[in-house]
Chain A
Amino acid sequence: MFSLKDKKLAEEIISKIKKLDVKLKFMHVCGTHQDTLVKYGLDSLLEECGIEIGQGPGCPVCVTTPKEIEEMLLLARRGKIVATFGDMVNVPGETQSLQSMKTEGYEVRTVYGIEDAVNLAEKHKDKDIVFMAVGFETTAPTTASVLLNDPPSNFSILCCHRTIPSALKVILDMGEIKIDGFIEPGHVSTIIGTEPYEFISKDYRVPQVITGFEPLDLLMAVWMLVQQIEHGKACVQNEYARAVNKEGNVKAQNVIDEVFEPGDKKWRGFPVIPQSGLELRSKFETYDARRKYESDLKEISKKEFKEPEGCRCGELLRGLVLPQECPLFGTRCKPESPVGPCMVSIEGSCSIEYRYAKKR
């Protein structure tokens, strides 16, 4: 909506931060933030000011587990039409990816959103359509809204929705890295508002800023975090006020609550995170592919699947390593032949680093 590319102001922010002579480590949890940081070279500019910004588990495709991918693969093998977002089809499971199944002739469809998948179900009444519902609070209300609208009975979802605040908590609880502040995702926040982040500042004394996606948004957010630290404060500030209000989108929150309930969920690179997933309420069980096709999925229901050998996506999602520190980066793992999801998704930090590194 805005073009916030005021170079002078950007320089002013950078020079002011530089003067403060700090050494801080922040984390963001959104692939689009990573894209802006790397695309505009803000990451290296800020590093010169003593500020390192790592990417946490903020790419929905990346945190989806090998098991969830294997569930989708199995459903495709059992003759269902499986549909999901474009990035997701290229993520390798333990055995293969949905894309490679497509080339074997199985029915794998790429859709822009859940409504496209419902249209498929209406068009192919004689087939079962399963939509792989991935995404955080931004995407969950789109799934919920469709399920509240009585989609056809041959339609169901493999629910992989996850929620951000519980992941922030687990990162702090694991204590593997020191985090001086969180740059919170603007679009997730349009839905949930500012309140769900409050406990992080209150219980862990970590400053947070909800942030937009223009280069100046990110610089402002860094400035606001640094100011909180300089003044000994830890609170939730909203830099992205042009899209995010305190309450969030209450209508969207209500449809989420009506359709889903919180449940424990495993994230790639993490153990099971308590109450970090959204599970379908029993009222919607006829749309729950895991219940509907329980017998199809039985053979893998107890099985654990490994992450690809040598892949460091897990550590990357916990903010412990940079893409360049993975021996597979740019060698065995490239966008055209990805090993892990962070190289597949255009929101994954490996894909972003690979895309822009050449320009440096």
Chain B
Amino acid sequence: MYLFLYSFICLVQEKIYNVLGYDRKIVCLAIPGKIVEIDKNKEHGIVDYGDDTKRKVNISLVEVKVGDYVLVHAGFAIESLDEKDAQETLDLFREMLSAGEEG
């Protein structure tokens, strides 16, 4: 669920940028999305950013299968994402915080 929420936030952010005239793409930003289809040649795939926004993306730099989450930059998937959910990451952060105090 968090995954979709985040994709949605990114999408909204992008739409706001468009409205503001910031349709110029950011050079080092990467946006997460889900691989929903892979071409026969395995060179490209379709990435779903949520809210029915799908885009053809070059997947030659990553090892992925349908259903994997990737970071997309300038039309290329640059890395697959660990599917740990937000709660797990937050728990990890809390753990680090208390460990720091003891140390």
Q: State yes or no: do A and B come from one complex.
A: yes
Total interface residues on A, CB under 8 Å, equals 58
Q: Range of interface residues on chain B?
A: 35 or more
Q: Is B12 in the interface zone, CB < 8 Å from A? A: no
Find out whether the CB atom of B28 lies under 8 angstroms from the CB atom of A255.
no
Known: A4-B90, A216-B93. A61 touches B27 (CB 8 A): yes
Q: How far is the CA of A31 from the CA of B9 in the complex (A)?
A: 19
Q: How far is the CA of A191 from the CA of B74 in the complex (A)?
A: 14
Q: Is A342 in the interface zone, CB < 8 Å from B? A: no
Residues of A within 8 A of B23 (CB): 86
- CB-based nearest A residue for B90: A6
Q: Is A139 in the interface zone, CB < 8 Å from B? A: yes
Most chain A C-beta atoms within 10 Å of own C-beta, residue among B25, B86, B93: B93
Find out whether the CB atom of A113 lies under 8 angstroms from the CB atom of B76.
yes
Known: A31-B28, A32-B28, A187-B78. A12 touches B97 (CB 8 A): yes
Q: Is B19 in the interface zone, CB < 8 Å from A? A: no
Find out whether the CB atom of A145 lies under 8 angstroms from the CB atom of B30.
no
Most chain B C-beta atoms within 10 Å of own C-beta, residue among A2, A59, A244: A2
- Which residues of A in the span 92-145 have a Cβ within 8 Å of any Cβ on B? 110, 112-116, 134-136, 138-139, 141-142, 145
Q: How far is the CA of A59 from the CA of B22 in the complex (A)?
A: 16
Find out whether the CB atom of B78 lies under 8 angstroms from the CB atom of A2.
no
Known: A9-B93, A145-B61. A134 touches B75 (CB 8 A): no
Known: A2-B89, A4-B90. A90 touches B24 (CB 8 A): yes
Within the complex, the shortest CB–CB distance from B85 to chain A, in Å, comes to 7
- CB-based nearest B residue for A220: B93
Find out whether the CB atom of A112 lies under 8 angstroms from the CB atom of B86.
no
Find out whether the CB atom of B3 lies under 8 angstroms from the CB atom of A86.
no
Find out whether the CB atom of B74 lies under 8 angstroms from the CB atom of A187.
no
Q: How far is the CA of A243 from the CA of B27 in the complex (A)?
A: 18
Q: Is A55 in the interface zone, CB < 8 Å from B? A: no
Residues of B within 8 A of A9 (CB): 90, 93-94, 97
Interface residues of A (CB under 8 A from B): 1-4, 6, 9, 12-13, 16, 30-32, 58-61, 85-90, 110, 112-116, 134-136, 138-139, 141-142, 145, 185, 187-188, 190-191, 216, 220, 223-224, 227, 231, 241-244, 249, 251-252, 255, 345-347
Interface residues of B (CB under 8 A from A): 2-3, 5-6, 9, 17, 22-30, 32, 58, 60-63, 69, 71, 73-76, 78-79, 81-86, 89-90, 93-94, 96-97, 100-101, 103
5 extra A-B contacts, CB within 8 A, seeds A1-B2, A1-B6, A191-B79: A1-B69, A2-B86, A112-B25, A114-B74, A227-B100
